[in-house]
A and B are shown apart, each in its own frame.
Chain A
Amino acid sequence: MNVLEVKNLTKRFGGITAVNNASFSVQEGSVFGLIGRNGAGKTTTIRMMLNIYFPDEGEVFFRGAKIEQNFKDSVGYLPEERGLYKKMKVIDMLLFLAELKGKKGSEVNKTALQYLESFDLADRKNSKIEDLSKGNQQKVQFISTVLHDPDFLIFDEPFSGLDPINTNLLKEIILEMKNKGKVVIFSTHLMEFAEKMCDSIAMIDKGKIILNGKLSTIKEKFASKNVSLNYSGNLSFLNNHPLVESVENFGNSTGIRLKNENTDQELLKILMANNITIKNFNVDEISLHEIFVMHAGKENGDVQ
């Protein structure tokens, strides 16, 4: 069931259209990835979903109704550029942010202390934020995102600027939230993370959604006509071959896209006949990165 529906969102800043008629939906209990390059419109889309920006056109629906404050209350948001009040004490900071979400009292206080304990920060609860290391400040920020027990978690580029330890910590949080049946939405330009963690994705490029749906369906759709190849030899004979739509070199592997489904065995025969040494021939395998490059092209090269 769709819990969140984004319909025809458009946002312009001056003469620039940051998001152009974007539509997608997020299912209950899923991990959803908003994927695109830096500057593609991911943050603007997320801000409109949270009502931080008002869209110029389009609407966002939460369980069938237009989003209002009740949606904000049930969201835990980790923005790309994180920030806390530097002069506040850790525990006060956490309780203040929880209170803004409508949670206060001894219960939330207890939960905060539990989180601090599990993040090894219990002895720092009365320290000022500015006295913590950057890594510990990030931990406090994670706690503040989940402390009020939100049904939705929205992470904007969650892995940018994290050290390896906190990257793993955040991955664990995301999986734990997923296991608890929460909806996790995150934006990223790191395809590898998206591929490993997402149930569904929407790809955004230059403000437009260029692909969206269940990751497994998308991969299936592209994979059945797709071959991933490791080889040695000369593939140039495949250019303008009637079976082949395109050949793309991804560095470690080469992706061959076929014109018709189920012609992979024919391709294999042709490769053998042309004396290509095949080290790895993988049908039905395509990375999200390959799919992205296929759709959005290779410019800028900031998608990894």
Chain B
Amino acid sequence: MFNKRTLAIIKRELKMKLFSKSFILMTLLVPLFMVGIFSIQYFVQSMSEEQRSDLIIISDSDEILNKIQSEIFQTAPFKSGDLTAIFEKTELSDFPSKLKEIKPDIISQKITGVVFIPSTSLQSKGVEYYSSNPNNSSLFYKIKPSINKALVEIYFAGRLLTEDEIKFARKDVDINGYRVSSDEKVAQEGYGNRIAMVLFSFLLYMALIFSGSMTMNAVVEEKSNKIVEVLLSSASSTELMAGKILGTVIIEVLQMAIWLSPVVLLIFTSWFFIPPELMPQMSIGFIFYFLFNYTLALITYVALYATVGAIFDNPQDAQSGVWPLLMLIMIPFFIALGMESNAQSTLAQIASLIPFSSLIVMPARMILVEVPLWQILLSFAINILVLIGIFKLAGKIYRIGILLTGKKPKWSEVFSWLRMSS
């Protein structure tokens, strides 16, 4: 299968693609696109934080009002002017009419909202918030600690507790995740690996679909161009398919390596600053594993895409024939994303071992948790067996499909090709 003809085909693929505008654009644009997405998210978040909030804080208790006022005045948003607050004392029974009075201001957004802290909150810690946008978490983030602190301090004030005891009671539980792995190193873990998992899975998903579609279109074009018969008078269909797939694999792995290089530099050098909680914990070995796994995934999926290309003789029909393949990539991708909450669930374990899905789920799982070596090796063995099987089946269908033109074949016909001798 690997000989001078395969090599000639690989060389042509490299020459045509590596210097093509689309390859250069993709290579440069994808990292920019990624950075762009994260920046937009960050930007949107910071925008919402900078938004000014004007609150009316109402209580039936002077004590509560005074305490909260002094707490809120000390907060950074208040000092910077992002938050203004008017404090009003209103009896419990008068609150509904008060609210009615303020309602037009809330609707016209003259004020952001009304916080109602009744004296009963000293027992229940129940606080009411009235606004046209009551789910504004960035606002809660600004005022919640002050309200909590004030209520706790009033509650314990008569109970002869020390300042430290009150501080402790006020404090929320803080769960820090520490990753326990077999190499005796216990590392504190932030969001870094979760972000990395989404990023790597997305790259894998996008690159597989993109390179698969490109190969499929190239095969359809060769077929509709009629060049394929000239090629087959020199090389066998297996050589042709292998050359095409390997050419694509080399280009795509190179592209992936380029895409991952910023991540590698980020993790293994101190050239860039990134908050420690966002820093992913992974070894250089994982990057190599990821590229190797990507190579297997590419061969498997590109072979399937090339086969679909060989079955049809125009891009429209090929697009309609490609959906089973899309499912084979999309379902594992969503399983991988869903694994963020628990990468050790039974579904995650099974999905990381079964054919096709393993290629996408296993690397994602490995970013989140330490996967036992036997599972990694088993998934390798399964993937390689599947790859060999796919190559054989694809070769058969490719050989017959590639010279057929005219009527769009039915799937039942395609399956019957598998039983043919050639």
Which of chain B's residues have a CB closer than 8 A to the CB of A82? 226, 230
How long is the Cα–Cα vector from A52 to B231 in the complex, in angstroms?
A: 10
Within 8 A of B (CB), among A73-117: 73, 75, 77, 79, 81-88, 92, 96-97, 99-102
User: What chain A residues lie within 8 Å of B403 (beta carbons)?
Assistant: 47, 52-53
Which A residues are in CB contact (< 8 Å) with B124? none
B227 is contacted by which of A50, A53, A72, A85 (Cβ under 8 Å)? A85
A50 touches B16 (CB 8 A): no
Whole-angstrom distance between the Cβ of B217 and the nearest chain A Cβ: 12
Interface SS of chain B: helix
- Cβ A97 vs Cβ B226 within 8 A: no
- How far does the alpha carbon of A86 sit from the alpha carbon of B16 in the complex, in Å? 12
* B110 interface residue per 8 A CB criterion: no
**Which residues from 280 to 315 on chain B have a C-beta closer than 8 Å to any C-beta of chain A?**
none
Closest to B399 in A: A54
Contact of B230 among A86, A87, A97 (CB under 8 A): A97
Q: Is the CB of A52 within 8 A of B230?
A: no
List, in ascending order, chain B residues with CB within 8 A of A38's CB: none
Q: Whole-angstrom distance between the alpha carbons of A86 and B227 in the complex? A: 10
Measured CB to CB, the nearest residue on chain B to A100 is B234
B229 neighbours in A (Cβ, 8 Å): 52, 77, 79, 81, 83
- Decide if B225 touches A86 in the complex (CB within 8 Å): yes
Asked if A144 CB lies within 8 Å of chain B CBs, one says: yes
Task: Tally B residues with Cβ within 8 Å of A.
Answer: 24
Which of A54, A72, A141 is the one whose CB lies under 8 Å from B422?
A: A54
Asked if A51 lies at the interface with its beta carbon under 8 angstroms from chain B, I say: yes
Cβ of B201 to closest chain A Cβ, rounded Å: 33
Q: Give a binary string over B211-231; 1 marks a CB under 8 Å from any A CB, 0 the rest.
A: 000000000001001111111
Within 8 Å CB of A75, what residues of B?
233
Q: How large is the interface on A (under 10, 10 to 19, 20 to 34, 35 or more residues)?
A: 20 to 34
Q: What residues of chain A lie closer than 8 Å to B230, measured between beta carbons? A: 77, 79, 82-84, 97, 141, 144
B239 → chain A closest CB, angstroms: 9
Contact of A99 among B8, B225, B227, B228 (CB under 8 A): B8
Tell me which of A54, A72, A83, A92 contacts B234 (CB under 8 A).
A72
A284 at the interface (CB under 8 A from B): no
CB-CB under 8 A from A51, the residues of chain B are 236
Asked if A81 contacts B226 (CB within 8 A), the reply is yes
Q: Does residue B419 face the partner (Cβ distance < 8 Å to A)?
A: no
Chain B residue at minimal CB-CB distance from A96? B12
B232, CB-defined interface residue at 8 Å:
yes
- 26 inter-chain pairs at a CB distance below 8 angstroms, sorted by A residue, are A47-B403, A50-B232, A50-B233, A51-B236, A52-B233, A53-B422, A72-B233, A75-B233, A77-B229, A79-B226, A79-B230, A79-B233, A83-B225, A83-B226, A83-B228, A84-B227, A86-B225, A88-B16, A96-B8, A97-B230, A97-B234, A99-B11, A100-B5, A100-B231, A100-B235, A101-B234
Q: Assuming A52-B229, A77-B233, what are 6 further A-B pairs, CB within 8 angstroms?
A: A50-B233, A52-B232, A72-B235, A79-B226, A81-B226, A82-B230
